[in-house]
Structure 1
Amino acid sequence: MIDQRTAPYAATILRVSLGILFLAHAGLKLFFFTPAGTAQFFGSLGLPGFLAYIVIAVELIGGIALILGYHARVAALALIPILLGAVVTVHGPAGFFFTNPGGGWEFLALWIAGLAAVALLGEGAYAVTRRGL
């Protein structure tokens, strides 16, 4: 049974935590790797370089939307393909465990599960929008 008194706060904790993770990853691409460096890395994977700029933008916008609780269900669903792309292109070949050389897809699987939970739960408490889809 779900505790209706505390569930909205649990959804908020999950939503905000995931949003912070996306902002951190976007920040890594912006300030450490740089957008041009990220585009070059995407190119080394056989992906078009411009896709890096789209990924950075989606991570930024999606992360902010999750933190604010602005259409969190839509934001969560929009962010899942970014992580699936990371699994297929970078982390999948390294195996499951994130401690493997090259980092496996274990962490990304948990992240995707968290986003799926937000998509099912909705915004939770303290959200800009309260109804979701």
Structure 2
Amino acid sequence: MIDLKTAPYAALLLRLTTGALFLIHGLTKLFVFTPAGTMGFFESLGLPGWLGALTMIVEIAGGIALILGIATRLVSAALIFPLLGAVIFAHWGNGFGFGNPGGGWEYPAMWALVQAALALIGDGAYALYPLKRR
């Protein structure tokens, strides 16, 4: 059974947590690894370099949108794709445990499922621009 009094705050916590993590990951790609380094890493995985730049932009914009509560369902659903890409292309070969060298696939897989849950739950409390159900 869902507690309708606390569920909006649970969604808010998921929104803020995942939003902050996406923002931090995107800003790390921008300022630490740099766009050129991020694109080079994607190319080393056999992916086009522009996909690294796009991932960086999506993580930053998506993180901000989640923190503010802008179209949470849509943003969360969209963010599943880069997470699954991380599972398949960057972490699968490292095994399950994220503590493995290079990071295993458990952590990004868990966050993909968290994003799916948030897409199903919705905006939660204090959303700036929630999408209305029709």
| TM-score, normalised with respect to structure 2 | 0.95
Partner of 1:5: 5
User: Is 1:72–1:132's contact at 8 Å kept on the other side of the alignment?
Assistant: no
Aligned to 2:127: 127
Equivalent residue for 1:97?
97
What amino acid is aligned across from residue 124 of structure 1 in structure 2?
G
C-alpha distance after superposition, 1:48-95 (max 9, x if no partner): 111111111111111111111100000001100101111111101101
User: How do residues 47-126 of structure 1 correspond to structure 2 at under 5 angstroms?
Assistant: 47-126=47-126
| SS of residue paired to 2:20 | helix
Aligned mates of 1:112, 1:73 — CA distance in 2: 13
Q: Which residue of 2 aligns with 1:22?
A: 22
Aligned-pair CA distance for 1:132: 4.6
CA distance in 1, matches of 2:50, 2:56: 10
Aligned to 2:41: 41
Paired residues of 1:123 and 1:132 also in contact (CA < 8 A): no
Cα distance in structure 1, aligned partners of 2:66 and 2:14: 9
TM-score of the aligned structures, taking structure 1 as reference length: 0.96
Contact 2:72–2:130, Cα closer than 8 Å, also in 1:
no
- Secondary structure (helix, strand or coil) at the match of 2:100 reads coil
Q: 3-state SS of the aligned residue for 2:112?
A: helix
Once the two structures are TM-superposed, the CA of residue 42 in structure 1 deviates from its matched residue by: 0.9
Distance 2:23 2:11 in 1: 18
Cα shift readout 1:23-67 (whole Å, capped 9, x = no counterpart)? 010011011100111111111111111111111111111111111
Give, in whole Å, the separation in 1 of the partners of 2:23 and 2:12: 16
5+ residue gaps, structure 1 = none
Q: How many residues align?
A: 133
Q: Which amino acid aligns with 1:101?
A: P
5+ residue gaps in structure 2? Answer: none
1:71, 1:113 → 2: CA distance? 18
Q: 1:95 to 1:108 in 2, by over 3 A?
A: same
Relative distance call for 1:131 and 1:38 in structure 2 (3 A) is closer
Matches of 1:37 and 1:130, distance apart in 2: 35
